[in-house]
Structures are given as C-alpha cells and as structure tokens.
C-alpha cells in the first residue's frame, strides 16, 4: 500500500511517519502532486498557523489538487481545519472541502487546549474498536463547530467537532500519532478503509 504524507512544512510529519512505522506501514513524505495522487491513502498533517500553512500549500500548488483527491484522506489537527472553507485564524480562505468555518476557542478555560481529552458520539468506522469517551491528545486554539459532518465530539468549555467526515475526506482535531493505543487503532482503521 502506498501511503503519502503531505509535506508542506507544517510540522509533525515525522511523528506521523514514526506512528505508521510502529504499525508496520511504510509511508513517504512528499509535496509532489503526482506522488500524492497515486497513493492509496493520503495523510494531511499540520501543526502551526492557518494563513502561513495555506500560503505554503499554494506555493507548492497543492491547494487545487487536494480537494480533488478520490482516495481516503485523513487531515490531522491543522490539516483538518484547512479542509474547511474558512478559518478565523489569520482570516484564512482554506480548501473548502467541508462547508465549515473554523472558530477561535473563546471560553474562560486556558487556550490553547493542550493535553488529553475525551472523544464521544463516535459515528464512523474510523473509530472501530475505540471506546466511547476514549482519551485523545489535543493541542489547539481553534475548533470546528458541531455540524452535519461531525463523527466525534469533544467538550472544552464548548462542545466541538473533534472529527468530521465527508465522502473520502476524514478530519481529526486530535493527534492520533500522539494518542497512545487508541490513536494507533484509529490510524490502522484509516489505513484499512
């Protein structure tokens, strides 16, 4: 199986590769549209800031290609947020795969949310063999509101979509590559879709 990890300079790509290696899968980092297109599965990771990440995608001419992908695509953290229409972070026009707006966390709790939190209302084969209220690792200051594409929720002063799905596109706000056994199960489920 060919697994492409999109490399556009937005952090955490190595930890994603290591997590896949631990599961026994080889993957390759690439910003080459042909190699991304020909992969069986695509992982779209991201740590950082939305506006500069979109700028990097455009510089590599990936912003038009990613929404056209037909194979399963998993957006992680900022990768998930960039699959939405718009992010309040830097007033960023994003990829528009999901008709959603990413909003700043505005609660009296500490922002960014850093650490372990529960995912619940799990509604996808992505969560096969993962328990309701399982803990996943999160680091974020922005969130996707609960919507019709929500396949998991998390609460942190507000309840938000911690995972979304539309057609072949999946997004998770948490970091499966840093979420211990449950995160490994989720990555394995994605690779077996």
Active-site residues, by number, are 77, 175, 177
How are beta strands 84-87 and 41-44 bridged, if at all?
Answer: unpaired
**What residues are paired with 136 via a beta bridge?**
117
| Residue 9 C-beta-side C-alpha neighbours within 13 Å | 13
CB 130 within 8 A of CB 182: yes
CB 12 within 8 A of CB 175: yes
CB 23 within 8 A of CB 47: no
């Amino acid at each position: 199986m060919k697994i492409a990890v999109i490399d556009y300079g937005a952090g955490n790509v190595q930890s994603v590769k290591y997590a896949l290696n631990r599961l026994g899968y080889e993957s390759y980092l690439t910003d080459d549209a042909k190699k991304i297109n020909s992969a069986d599965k695509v992982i779209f990771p991201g740590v950082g800031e939305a506006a500069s990440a979109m700028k990097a995608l455009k510089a590599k001419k990936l912003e038009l290609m990613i929404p056209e992908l037909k194979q399963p695509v998993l957006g992680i953290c900022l990768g998930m947020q960039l699959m939405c229409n718009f992010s309040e972070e830097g007033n960023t026009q994003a990829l528009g795969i999901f008709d959603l707006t990413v909003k700043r966390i505005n609660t009296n709790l500490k922002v960014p949310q850093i650490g372990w939190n529960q995912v619940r209302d799990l509604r996808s084969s992505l969560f096969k063999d993962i328990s309701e209220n399982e803990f996943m690792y999160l680091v974020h200051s922005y969130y996707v509101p609960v919507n019709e594409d929500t396949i998991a929720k998390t609460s942190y002063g507000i309840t938000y979509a911690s995972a979304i799905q539309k057609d072949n596109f999946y997004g998770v706000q948490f970091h499966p590559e840093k979420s211990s056994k449950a995160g490994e199960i989720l990555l394995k489920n994605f690779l077996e879709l």
